[in-house]
Amino acid sequence: MQPERRAAGLTELAVQRRCVSCRQSRSKSDMMRLVCDEEGSVWPDVLQKAPGRGAYVCWGKCLNHLQDRHLRMAWKGRTSGVDQADALRRRSAVAFLRLCRQYVRRVRRSVNIGRDAVMHRMWIHTPMLIVLAMDAGEALKRQIRQACTKREGAGLKTACSSFGNSALLGEFLEREKVSVLAIDDTPVSEKWLQYCIWYEQLLKTE
C-alpha cells in the first residue's frame, strides 16, 4: 500500500459525526446517515451513499428514541409536519429487512439450514455464526447451545444468537420455516446479524 493511500484510509476510519439525538461524536461507521428530501421527509441512508447534506444518528438506542425535534434541529426546520421520527423508524426497518434478505440470498449456497445440517457443520474447523429462531423448540435450542459450548471448548470460534421467528428466517431463504441456520462468521455476517437485531428492535418501538 502506498503511504498516501494508507494515510487516506486512516483518515477515513477517524472521521466522526455528531448524533442528532445524544449529541455525542462517534465514528461514521457506528452511525446511520439520514437524508432529507425536497418534500421534507427524512430517509435512512444505511449505506451512506445518497447525495446531499446528511445528518447522523447512533445505531440502536438513539434511533429507537429519536424525536421530531431532533430532526427539525438537524435540518433547521426543513422537515415536514409531525411523526417524521416514527416514519423514519419504519423506513429504517424496511431498509434493514431488505439488507438482511439480500445478504442471506447472496450467500444462500453456503448456508446450512436445519438441525442436521448445522450439527454436521459444528466440527468443521472454521469460525461459524449460528442463528436460532426465537420460536425454535426448547430441545433444539438446548442441543445447539450444548454443541456450541463444546466447539468453544475445542478452541473453535463460534457465535450463537437468537433472532426473529422461523417464518422470518424462512422468508430470508425462500422456505416456509427455518428454525436454525449456520453461516461463516465473518465481519460481513456479523454486520448482517446486527442489521437483524436493529430491525427487531425497531419493530418493538412501533
Q: Cα Rg for the chain, rounded, in angstroms? A: 20
Which one-letter amino acid corresponds to residue 182? Answer: A
Q: Check residue 40 and give left, alpha or beta (phi > 0: left; psi -120 to 50: alpha).
A: left
Q: How many CB atoms lie within 10 A of CB 144?
A: 22
Architecture of domain 105-205: 2-Layer Sandwich (3.30)
Give the pLDDT confidence of 42-84 residue by residue, as tens digits.
Answer: 999 988 888 888 999 998 889 999 999 999 999 987 887 778 8
The pLDDT score that the predictor gives to residue 136 is 96
> In CATH, what number does 3-82 get?
3.30.1230.10
The pLDDT score that the predictor gives to residue 47 is 86
Q: In degrees rounded to 5, what are phi and psi of residue 42?
A: -100, 135
Residue 204 pLDDT > 80: no
Q: Where are the domains of the chain?
A: 3-82, 105-205
The pLDDT score that the predictor gives to residue 51 is 86
Q: Give yes or no for a contact between 64 and 205, defined as CB atoms under 8 angstroms apart.
A: yes
Give the pLDDT confidence of 112-171 residue by residue, as tens digits.
Answer: 999 999 999 998 999 999 999 999 999 999 999 999 999 999 999 999 988 889 999 998
Tell which wins on pLDDT, 32 or 13: 32
184: β partners: 128
DSSP letter for 134, please. Answer: T
Does the pTM surpass 0.95? The reply is no
